[in-house]
Structure 1
């Protein structure tokens, strides 16, 4: 399986890092970070992504300005895409078809090729414009899955909560895992 993981500039970008860390090693990852995502990771977690994944052979990292990257073309087959977290700016651009970055271009390609896309909007409260954009994208077949906790799996720590969220996104992308206790 090939997956594009796009990190846009919303709070909680570290969820993407943990999402990638939990992916099975046989999954090929195409990682794109917006400029704002890099800033958020630095400010919130003091993380440099290139150093973090430098030894991972299944991960290719692309700059958001690189519209010549393979994931910018429909002829390059990627199975799934997740934008995690998805900023309201990125959400709005996706909703109206603006492809001015690698993230939004890859999204547009996935949409036109009718491939699986999950958006994890990270904002609260949601205004009417954001809700309208989410509805529009949902009507196009995009899965809208913000980081919303379910308490039935008895999370005891922030790490447990993150594993629950990542597990739910894995479920949507049909990636096998055992990150949280399922409802019985």
Structure 2
């Protein structure tokens, strides 16, 4: 059975811990490739193990080629700058290049935009990308799973993203009708 390859990228600063937690919670059976933007690195001191890291400046990295065979990519968090570049086809760094490859190869691409409220320009870019089949999945919690802590909220978000990636998980309480 072929090992699933996933690129996890973080752009912007706020919420970088979500990208790190995705790495920590992904099953060992998944081949993980990690890219951090320069702004992400300013906020976070890296302490990663068992992960293949790539410099965002290295657009010739393996994950930048369709023939490398990445199955999916998630950018969490995704800054409005990165989202706009992807929407306009600008591939000036490894994160945007990988996203362009996902689009051209018809592979799953999930963007988790982090800024709120969304401007009309950001919404227009999200609409354009969603029309191409890109999944726009901002970090929005639901209350039915009754999270009590920040960690439970983060696990809910990551669990929902894993669902979109087709990765089985039990990171959150799923919706169920309560019997009376």
Separation in structure 1 between the aligned mates of residue 103 and residue 122 of structure 2, nearest angstrom = 19
Offset of residue 10 of structure 1: 3.6
1:13 corresponding residue in structure 2: 16
Aligned pair 1:159/2:151, yes or no? yes
Aligned pair 1:182/2:177, yes or no? no
1:1-184 correspondence to structure 2 within 5 Å: 1-41=4-44, 48-49=45-46, 52-54=47-49, 56=50, 59-184=51-176
What is the aligned residue count? 173
RMSD: 0.7
Unaligned runs of 5+ in 1: 42-47
- Does the Cα contact within 8 Å between 1:6 and 1:31 map onto a contact in 2? yes
Deviations 1:2-23 (A, max 9, x none): 0000110141110111111000
Deviations 1:137-172 (A, max 9, x none): 000000000000101001010000000000000011
Unaligned runs of 5+ in 2: none
- Deviation above 6 Å: which 4+ runs of structure 1? none
SS in 1 for 2:116: coil
SS in 2 for 1:75: helix
Separation in structure 1 between the aligned mates of residue 149 and residue 18 of structure 2, nearest angstrom = 14
SS in 2 for 1:98: coil
1:44 corresponding residue in structure 2: none
